[in-house]
Amino acid sequence: MCGIVGYCGHREAVDVVVSGLRRLEYRGYDSAGVAVADDGRIQELKRAGKIANLDAALHDCPLPAARTGIGHTRWATHGAPNDLNAHPHVCADGRVALVHNGIVENWASLRAELAEDGIAPVSDTDSEIAVQLLGLAVGGGLSLTEAMRQVAPRLDGAFTLVAIDAADPQTVVAARRNSPLVVGVGQGEHFLASDVAAFIEYTREAIELGQDQVVTITPAAVAVTDFDGSPSEVRPFHVDWDLAAAEKGGFDWFMRKEIHEQPEAISHTLLGRHDLGGRLVLDELHICESELALIDKIVVIACGTSFYAGMVAKYAIEHWTRVPCEVELASEFRYRDPIVGPRTLVVAISQSGETADTLMAIRHARAQQARVLSICNTNGSTIPRESDAVIYTHAGPEIGVASTKGFLTQLMACYVLGLYLAQVRGSRYDDEIAATVAELERMPGLVQQVLDAQDVVMELASELADARSVLFLGRHVGYPVALEGALKLKELAYIHAEGFAAGELKHGPIALIEDGLPVFVVVPPRGRDQLHDKVVSNIQEIRARGARTVVLAEEGDEIAAAHSSILVTLPKVSTLLQPLVAVVPLQLFACELATRQGHDVDQPRNLAKSVTVE
């Protein structure tokens, strides 16, 4: 969850590191700190709270103009978010400083071992255990790289460690296991970070790291080995977005900017994945068509917003392929002894590609010989590397903690996958697939149409700024849209919000309805299995009990409009694709309501962008 930056080169390290931390603050903002190696000493400064607190401290007490440094922005796990527990941590003799992302699960036994050596950690964190062990190793004559190779294998759990040694001030050493780390390659300088956003201002050339590897950077070179010291092959890649993509571009929030980037983002997800005749072309899949044709079960695993994308995928995949599809919370998957095997396709959805629960789930699936296909936005991340195949969403950087364009591009990737499987298996005619692909091509324009008509949602957020509870109803693919709408409101506005399947209303949730309660209702397009009429009946039931109905219905739906307190008009689309347009007003509403309530939309309390610990 935490953000990590390391630098060595010709620039002032504090400037580079703090700049990088600002771009990683979405990963955690409980505390922040920086340390530099200068004149044979480690000098560090850290503060609880957001990076602005660190900035103020650095203004009052500047660190030396050193050329090597590390930094950290924290999402607290072990120990309260205060100055003492903030990173970097420094070993007992002051020689080594370290920043850490993840959890050291065997910290208690290691702490007891340190006590036998007369070392008593001063913080409440598991992270300090690692730096004290490194300090003992370099004090015993090992280089920092050798010490890292010795210490890292002793740590249980998921971690990235980045350290500097006052006695070797032009070197930064890092190790990773089940936690993100990427190398930035510059001219006479190198970078380490949890995410390429930290160094995109300086270079777009990067190296992805594998599991259980140690990397050593100096201004002149990068060396990567396994924990046992064996040289490892490096895999360079080019970042296909630039600094401007990581800036707000005139918007008040990254989240609002990312909502408005969605037409372009879903266009990028579809780009190059079909030919002129509408036939799907997924050259990046490394699972042969003959194998996909034999798949008899599909399991989608994901967490949070990605889980709701998976719920939509289930409807589409089963409808197009006639293959049973389950959707599982990744955090529950491996603990219930799931039935998967060689003819199971596990689809793992993760924006960051580092979600710990999802990563553990795909490892369990592969141990059962299932094939794994990941849907991901982040090139070089762990989940795609450990999957048999990947569909990248090409959404560009998503900085806002609450996912928006990540969700829509995941939906688009799921539709592409479902249609491709239907094509491979022959469960849909070519002209049917081509017609759906043509509709997908129109979706960027239709999403833009929704964005252009946002005034009604903005006014609604103003009217409901004091609301303390909001309900969301939907059926079919509208149900996961309702869940996602409620999640966005919980994440950003900190109010009670629940999503329900509209057909379940009379089975309990209707007891929540009271006079004036805002209820958002996603109305299916007309003409599908009487779903439209059934949802209209639900609207009538809750209006009769005094609810204020905010109805999302396709243009021209006069029946739904007649039963709405407030109507939000959606473009006409087929039922399965409606989530692409229906969720956008809910994103806008949550963003605007939180803004009017005075909350930090990009950095909601207690949350971080990428959940890299279980």
Q: Which residues contact 163 (CB under 8 A, 6 or more apart)?
A: 70, 96, 97, 98, 99, 131, 134, 144, 148, 172, 173, 174
Is 2 an annotated catalytic residue? Answer: yes
Phi first, then psi: give them for residue 51, nearest 5 degrees: -60, -25
**Residue carrying the six token digits 């190059």:** 272
Closest CA to 580 of 269, 324, 120: 269
Please, are residues 22 and 198 in contact by the beta-carbon 8 Å criterion? no
Q: Active site residue: 257, 314, 490, 609, which one?
A: 609
Q: Which residues contact 213 (CB under 8 A, 6 or more apart)?
A: 175, 176, 224, 225, 226, 227, 232
Cis peptide before 342 (omega within 30 of 0): no
DSSP 296-364: -EEEEEE-HHHHHHHHHHHHHHHHHH---EEEEEHHHHGGG-----TTEEEEEEESSS--HHHHHHHHH
Beta strands in 18-65 (DSSP E): 31-38, 41-48
Q: Which residues contact 346 (CB under 8 A, 6 or more apart)?
A: 298, 299, 300, 301, 340, 361, 362, 365, 370, 371, 372, 373
Closest CA to 27 of 348, 303, 398, 380: 398
Which residues, in sequence order, are bridge partners of residue 73? 3, 32
The Cα 70–Cα 47 span in angstroms is: 15
335-346 in b/e burial notation, b at 16+ Cβ within 10 A? eeebebeeebbb
DSSP 15-27: HHHHHHHHHHGGG
Please, are residues 68 and 8 in contact by the beta-carbon 8 Å criterion? yes
Dihedral, CA of residue 120, residue 126, residue 128 and residue 134, to nearest 10: 100
Q: Please name the amino acid found at residue 156.
A: D
Closest CA to 411 of 275, 598, 605, 577: 577
Please, are residues 580 and 441 in contact by the beta-carbon 8 Å criterion? no
Q: Active site residue: 2, 8, 325, 414, which one?
A: 2
Please, are residues 26 and 235 in contact by the beta-carbon 8 Å criterion? no
What's CA 286's distance to the chain center, in Å? Answer: 24
How many residues does the structure list for the chain? 614
**Quick count: other Cβ atoms within 10 Å of Cβ 227?**
18
Q: Which residues contact 464 (CB under 8 A, 6 or more apart)?
A: 470, 518, 593
What's CA 126's distance to the chain center, in Å? Answer: 24
3-state class percentages of the chain: helix first, strand second, coil last, to nearest 5: 40, 25, 35
Which residues are the active-site residues?
2, 609
